[in-house]
Structure 1
Amino acid sequence: MAEKIIVGVSDAPVSDRAVDWAVARGRARGQSVELLAVVGGVVGAVGEATVLEQALLSAEAMLDAQSARVGESFATTVVAGNPVSHLIDASKDAALLVIGSDYRGPGSGPARGAHGIRIAAGAHCPVVVVPDRERGDGSGVVVGLDGSPVSERALAFAAAEADRLGEKLIAVSVWTPLTAPRNTLAVYPELYLTNMQATTEELQAVALAGLASQYPDLVIERVVERGYPSHVINALAAGARLAVVGSHGRGAIARFLLGSISHEVLARLATVTAVVR
């Protein structure tokens, strides 16, 4: 298994936070950290070579500055081309890919752009997205569970991180009543609502059944609610140290699209968030 963490670094302030997160994780897990900078916008224009050469040198200096700031020597790579493609390709040989997001929360402007979402959708390993703001006193690791195989992998990642960090695991399962054109008032039989809640609780219990033996000291908080998954997950993630969601598969289309839930969680990034497939 690859034990390398790759961090996508740019000149954006959030890169410091992404590097710091990766370094802390690498030290705790015995993983090496590699910094990758991509100089984009290359089109082959006349006179571009001189500009590109200077840009590559500046990128190398930027990575060296990160090493000096942290006080640790990193393997570094600087390439020119499409940042999304290069980061996705780099993820083939990584245990984890870490990128920053310039999203600073509600009221701070646009949410995370398409590049970060495409990287998370197309990567070959789990992707951690670090927001550009202080994490404060958040506690707990939130994980979304829906009974699918990918949510099982998200749970495995989240449980390992919660155990490593000494944090409680907050398992979240959300059910949404079916919608129908004639049911605009959202009036549902009580029996249906009760059974939806009970069924979701049972699915979550099955998913969590083996964790106690694997992590005997892990505290697990179970949350089963009616609502919309990304809203509930982000509401809980706002007070958490880490959130983990699953993404369904890759492929020609999946490379550009996440599942709607993981996409929406990243679009309104509440805390450091891992996307697992």
Structure 2
Amino acid sequence: MLQVGAGAVGSSTIYFLGLMGASAELLVLDHDVVKVENLDRSLLFGLDDASPHEIPKVEAVVRAAESFPALRVHPVRSRWADYVAAGYRVGEFDLALALANEDHVWSAMAEAVLPLTLQATTDRDWGVAFGAHSPGTGYCLRCRFPPDTPVMPTICAEGEIEIESAAGQPETVHASLPFQSAAAAGLLAVEIDKLALGPAAGGPNYVEGRIDVTENVLSLHRTPSRACPACRNFPEDLWAVKYERTRFASFR
């Protein structure tokens, strides 16, 4: 597996995979370091990771994953664009986890023609979402997050709440919910576990849940966007050459 992003959702995903006893070779890609503000959103990072050292997230993940011997984590401290430029090869992985949300990395990952890609995130209004994307046939990352999106709609689980100000007046402030990242990672871990049970084709490729006043849960099978170049220009012969023998080819 290739995991791009070892932040709140990414580190929590590794934690769940470890608890599940998942057996996998996992290459984890992230360029950032652990900071104090990351601690309330991650099940894996500890205070020693953040202060005073601020060690790289990929190193913190490797250290924590030592408790999960079946999960063999290989760290790469890098941005996605630099990793691709250094020699990413199409068909190198069975499964990709898209868990970063900067530099339009999701649309860039779609253009790099990854295999079956699973993606999970938190967003505004205290929601979590999961997506599964297969080249040329499923709703891909670029369909969901076009490069011209002015503001990335995924942030660390913020929502508006009403409080009383010091002056005794009602005031709206932004609050973060630390368990939302774990909820998104849980959705992802469950889908990975389902893949291990057999062919997963036909299931929903998009799930969204909210815990605001609506308490909505949405489950859909989304098709590719006609305007998406990553889906429209996917060469069918590439699947036969590079993906047909991958572990989860039946998802398509």
For the pair shown, the structure with the greater C-alpha radius of gyration is 1
TM-score (norm: length of structure 2): 0.38
Q: Which TM-score applies when normalising by structure 1?
A: 0.36
